[in-house]
């Protein structure tokens, strides 16, 4: 279902990949959604992954910047995402490209 959503023009779910010479270096999934606090869409960066060999080479930053460009083109006023507090390596990058909002996430799974 997820893959069909990526290729459906009516779905607000998207994917980007970074590759070099046919080798996958990283990928990101993001989606647009409405909000009660703004007119335009919000962009949620749901997944960001870089291969271990590509980490520290700017691939993650390039993917985030590409999402920023897509979000701006779609009229979104914000891009946001979550990461685990123990994800120190990724947070080093995130602290350079975005602001930590300080929000704590609560959830209930069914």
pLDDT at residue 6, as a whole number: 85
Asked if 49 and 62 touch (Cβ cutoff 8 Å), the reply is no
The CATH number linked to 43 is 3.40.630.30
Looking at the domain assignment, is residue 104 inside a domain? no
Looking at the domain assignment, is residue 30 inside a domain? yes
Burial pattern 33-68, b for ≥16 Cβ within 10 A else e, equals eeeeeeeebbbbbeebbbeeebeeeebbebbbeebb
pLDDT in tens, the chain (110 residues): 888 888 888 888 999 999 999 999 999 999 999 999 899 999 999 999 999 999 999 999 999 999 999 999 999 999 999 999 999 999 999 999 999 999 988 999 99
Looking at the domain assignment, is residue 85 inside a domain? yes
Looking at the domain assignment, is residue 58 inside a domain? yes
pLDDT at residue 76, as a whole number: 96
Looking at the domain assignment, is residue 56 inside a domain? yes
pLDDT at residue 2, as a whole number: 84
Asked if 79 and 68 touch (Cβ cutoff 8 Å), the reply is yes
CA distance 100 to 110: 28
Looking at the domain assignment, is residue 61 inside a domain? yes
Looking at the domain assignment, is residue 45 inside a domain? yes
Exposed / middle / buried, residue 27 (Cβ in 10 Å: 0-12, 13-18, 19+): middle
pLDDT at residue 1, as a whole number: 87
Total residue length of the chain: 110
How many other CB atoms are there within 10 angstroms of residue 25's CB atom?
A: 21
């Amino acid at each position: 279902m997820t893959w069909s959503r990526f290729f459906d023009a009516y779905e607000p779910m998207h994917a980007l990949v970074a590759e070099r010479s046919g080798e996958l270096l990283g990928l990101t999934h993001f989606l647009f959604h409405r909000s009660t606090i703004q007119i335009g869409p919000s962009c949620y960066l749901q997944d960001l992954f870089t291969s271990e060999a590509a980490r520290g080479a700017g691939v993650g930053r390039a993917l985030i910047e590409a999402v920023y460009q897509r979000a701006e083109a779609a009229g979104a006023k914000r891009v946001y995402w979550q990461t685990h507090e123990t994800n120190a390596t990724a947070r080093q990058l995130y602290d350079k490209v975005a602001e930590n909002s300080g929000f704590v996430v609560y959830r209930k799974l069914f």
